Amino acid sequence: MTLTPERFCVAVIMQRTPLANRWISERWEPVAVEPSCVQQRIVTPMRYDDIAQWRFDGFMIDLHRTEAEGYHLNLVAPDPAVFVMWRMLEPEALVPDGPLAAPFLVTVSYNQAARMMDGGEQVDRVPMPADIRAWLEPFTQTHYKPEPRRKIRRRDPLATEDNGNVPQSEKLR
């Protein structure tokens, strides 16, 4: 059986901020994720004073039942977020006056973001827009099933063995 994930089309806003620092001249980061109806990859430059931004359209957030726990953890967090995995671009991929960094993947799964960070990827969080939250909540409520609590069986140091003669505490001495 092939599962078709639910999808939500978004745009990622990447920002370059100049820094007055002798070791690094600028900081790159995603600053927003916005709902978008553009499904093809388009990069649009924007400029505000010294801050340069680029809008990357054409990203999809895919929902999978296997990630329902990660969606739940994100929604119950104090500040639900959209996670953006991004990379600095290779010199051959650069265009004149274009961005030096670009997003590569967008997710709302806390677990998937953690796996990407464990793999050494650059992942930043941005606040989750209300539209995305409203879309994510019903899916999570439908597919998230918490693991049943299991009774933990602990060893009783005063209990006797099956043959009934020697208490466990005597064996420890």
pLDDT digits over 35-58, tens only?
988 877 888 888 777 788 999 999
Kindly give, in sequence order, each residue whose CB lies less than 8 Å from that of residue 91, ignoring residues fewer than 6 positions away.
Answer: none
Identify the pLDDT of residue 132: 95
DSSP 8-state class, residue 25 = S
Kindly give, in sequence order, each residue whose CB lies less than 8 Å from that of residue 73, ignoring residues fewer than 6 positions away.
Answer: 110, 111
Distance CA 57, CA 94 (A): 18
Residue 47, beta-bridge partner list: 52
Query: Per-residue pLDDT averaged across 59-81, rounded?
Result: 95
Quote the pTM value. 0.79
Identify the pLDDT of residue 164: 55
Encoded tokens for 7? 């999808």
